[in-house]
Structures are given as structure tokens and as C-alpha cells.
A and B are shown apart, each in its own frame.
Chain A
């Protein structure tokens, strides 16, 4: 059987693409409203803190952030190549490490809430 590390990269990429498609637009709308000065009730400290305090909320937030980060990192790696940057190993290492670091940071912040 041929061994490949590709599924490890690919599965979170596909999952992340789906998560971005379903959830990121509406989350952007929420913070966009905050940017315009109309903070939605759900983004108040009490509401958001309560949501991030329960286990399911933590899991949902972590899933969205970590999968979206990984998917973006993988696509950014491909984009670097398409724009003529041929140092793929370097781009992959830097971007995947950044995505992992972002996910670990997100998990650490969530556990602190």
C-alpha cells in the first residue's frame, strides 16, 4: 500500500473549506456590524463569554477557527506556488506551522474563558 501524508493535509482542508463556506460569511457580517457601531446582542461580553464557557460552545468556536485556519494555510500554499514562488517545502512548513500555532493559541484562550 502506498503511503502518503496527503490525506492528513487534505481532510482538514476540505472540512475547513466547508466550514468557511457555511459559517465565515455570517460571522464576518456580525463583526462588520460591530465595526459599523451596531454591536449585535450576541457579541456583548456577557453573551459571548457565556457561549464560550460551555463545552459545546468552546468546541464549536475551536472547530471553526482551527479548520478555517488550516484550509486557508493550505490554499495560501497553493497560491504561493501559483504566483511563482517555487519554494514549496518552505511555504508549506511556514504556513502549516502558522495554522497550528493559531489553533493552539485559540485552544489556550478558550480554555482560559
Chain B
């Protein structure tokens, strides 16, 4: 009897279409493209800020284009999806034990959401949005 090892064919570039769970995983993974691109924009912003008031005004003016608005919408969607999935994962990543019992997962994730909302509102307030 000859040995016949199991060879599972996995298409390397389209495997994630096989299951919705894989698709959600990939959706989460590709948020990094937009977040990474946005970080590059932040580095450029720092360069413009260091170059003086005219350079900074030019940078702000440069943001006002249709492409920039579309990019910001994509980056915002990516950042929000990352934040939501990250906070949902915290209860699995760092379970918290108090005495004999574990703190319910929803409490851990919920606390992160509350801190997130408070932090975001505080930053918007200090940035003079309201």
C-alpha cells in the first residue's frame, strides 16, 4: 500500500472567498492600507508644519480636493472598522479575572468603547470643534 499524503489545494490568492469569516478577516486586514496611507499623510503634515505658516496653509488648502475627501471617507471607514473589531477582540485578548470569576467579555469591550468615545469627544473639544 503506497503512502498518499493529503494535499489540500488552497488557492493562494482567492482562498478568502470561501467563507464569510475569511472575508471579514480580510476586510479587517485591508484597513491597514488606508490607515498606513493616512499615517504617511500625517508625516507629510508634520513636515509642512515644521516648514512654516505658509507651508501649513498650503497643506490645508491641498486637503480641499475631491480626491482628498474620498480618501478621508475611506480612511475614516477603515479606522472605525479597525477600532470596532479591535475593541471587540479585547475581551478575548485580555480576559480579566476578579476573585474566582472572569469579568464578562461584554463589560471589557464595553469599557473600551466608553473610553474611546470620551477620549474622542475630549480631543474634538480641545481641537475647538465644539
Contact = CB atoms under 8 A, between A and B. Distances in A.
Interface in B87-130: 87, 112, 115-116, 119-120, 123-124, 126-129
A29 B76 contact: yes
Interface in B22-54: 26, 29-30, 32-33, 35-36, 38-43, 45-47, 49-50, 53
A84 interface: yes
Contacts of B30: 79
B43 A109 contact: yes
Contact of A24 (B38, B40, B65, B68): B38
Interface residues of A, number: 53
B46 A30 contact: no
A86 B60 CA distance: 40
A32 B72 contact: yes
B76 to A, nearest CB: 5
A21 B128 contact: no
A52 B80 contact: no
Interface in A42-98: 42-43, 45, 47-49, 52, 61, 64-65, 68-69, 71-73, 75-76, 78-79, 82-84, 86
A86 B115 CA distance: 39
B35 A68 contact: yes
B36 A47 contact: no
B32 A24 contact: no
B32 A76 contact: yes
18 contacts: A21-B83, A21-B87, A21-B116, A22-B115, A24-B79, A28-B72, A30-B123, A31-B63, A35-B64, A35-B69, A65-B39, A65-B46, A73-B36, A79-B26, A79-B29, A102-B43, A105-B43, A109-B50
Interface of A: 17-18, 20-37, 39-43, 45, 47-49, 52, 61, 64-65, 68-69, 71-73, 75-76, 78-79, 82-84, 86, 102, 105-106, 109-110, 112-113
